[in-house]
Structure 1
Amino acid sequence: MNHTNSLTFYTANTPNGQKIAIFLNEAGLDYDQVNLDLSRGDQHQPSYRRINPNGKIPAIFDKESGVTVFESGAILSYLSAKTGCLLPPTDVEQVAVQQWLHFQIGGIGPMLGQLWWFLHGSKTENPEAIQRYRKEALRLYQVVDARLSESAFIALPSYSIADIAAFAWLRTWSELSLDISPFSHVRRWLDLIESKPAVQQGLLVSKQEGSPFDQNQLDLPKG
Structure 2
Amino acid sequence: MIDLYYWTTPNGHKIRIFLEESGTPYRLHTVNIGKGEQFKPEFLAISPNNRIPAIVDQGPEDANGPLPIFESGAILWYLAEKRRQFLPTSVRAKVEVAQWLYWQVAGLGPMAGQNHHFRNYAPEKIPYAIDRYVKETSRLYGVLNKHLADRDWVAANQYTIADMAIYPWIVPYQHQGQKLSDYPHLERWFHRIFEREAVKKVYEMAKEITNPDAPMTDEAKKILFGQGPRP
TM-score (normalised: structure 2) = 0.86
Deviation at residue 122 of structure 1 after TM alignment: 1.3
Q: Which residue matches 1:165?
A: 165
**How far apart in 2 are the matches of 1:176 and 1:91?**
35
Unaligned runs of 5+ in 1: 1-5, 211-223
- The residue type paired with residue 29 of structure 1 is T
Verify: 1:183 aligned to 2:183, yes or no. yes
Q: 1:37 aligns with which of 32, 35, 38?
A: 32
**How far apart in 2 are the matches of 1:98 and 1:181?**
28
Tell me if structure 2 keeps the 8 A contact 1:23–1:202. no
Deviation at residue 156 of structure 1 after TM alignment: 2.1
Tell me if structure 2 keeps the 8 A contact 1:12–1:38. yes
Q: Which residue matches 1:219?
A: none
Count, aligned residues: 205
Structure with larger RCO (C-alpha < 8 A, sep 6+): 1
**How far apart in 2 are the matches of 1:76 and 1:160?**
10
138-147 or 42-51, larger mean C-alpha shift: 42-51
Q: Which residue matches 1:145?
A: 145
**How far apart in 2 are the matches of 1:144 and 1:55?**
30
Q: 2:59 aligns with which of 57, 64, 69?
A: 64
Q: Describe the superposition over 1:55-80 as per-residue Cα deviations: whole angstroms up to 9, x where unpaired.
A: 00000001112201111111100000
Q: Describe the superposition over 1:158-188 as per-residue Cα deviations: whole angstroms up to 9, x where unpaired.
A: 1110011110101211122312322100100
Q: What SS does the aligned partner of 1:34 have?
A: strand
**Same amino acid, percent of matched pairs:** 37
Matches within 5 A, 1:74-113: 74-113=74-113
**How far apart in 1 are the matches of 2:120 and 2:40?**
25
**How far apart in 1 are the matches of 2:88 and 2:209?**
31
Tell me if structure 2 keeps the 8 A contact 1:17–1:206. no
- The residue type paired with residue 91 of structure 1 is V
Tell me if structure 2 keeps the 8 A contact 1:87–1:160. yes
Q: Which residue matches 1:16?
A: 11
- The residue type paired with residue 194 of structure 2 is E
Tell me if structure 2 keeps the 8 A contact 1:17–1:57. yes
- The residue type paired with residue 205 of structure 1 is M
**How far apart in 2 are the matches of 1:31 and 1:206?**
16
Q: Which residue matches 1:51?
A: 46
Unaligned runs of 5+ in 2: 61-65, 211-231
Verify: 1:7 aligned to 2:2, yes or no. yes
Q: Which residue matches 1:128?
A: 128
Tell me if structure 2 keeps the 8 A contact 1:112–1:169. yes
**How far apart in 2 are the matches of 1:108 and 1:56?**
17
**How far apart in 1 are the matches of 2:89 and 2:16?**
23
Deviation at residue 85 of structure 1 after TM alignment: 1.3
- The residue type paired with residue 33 of structure 1 is L
**How far apart in 2 are the matches of 1:192 and 1:179?**
17
Tell me if structure 2 keeps the 8 A contact 1:9–1:32. yes
Q: CA RMSD in A?
A: 1.3
Tell me if structure 2 keeps the 8 A contact 1:21–1:203. no
**How far apart in 1 are the matches of 2:118 and 2:171?**
18
Q: Describe the superposition over 1:6-37 as per-residue Cα deviations: whole angstroms up to 9, x where unpaired.
A: 21100100000000010000001111101111
Tell me if structure 1 keeps the 8 A contact 2:87–2:97. no
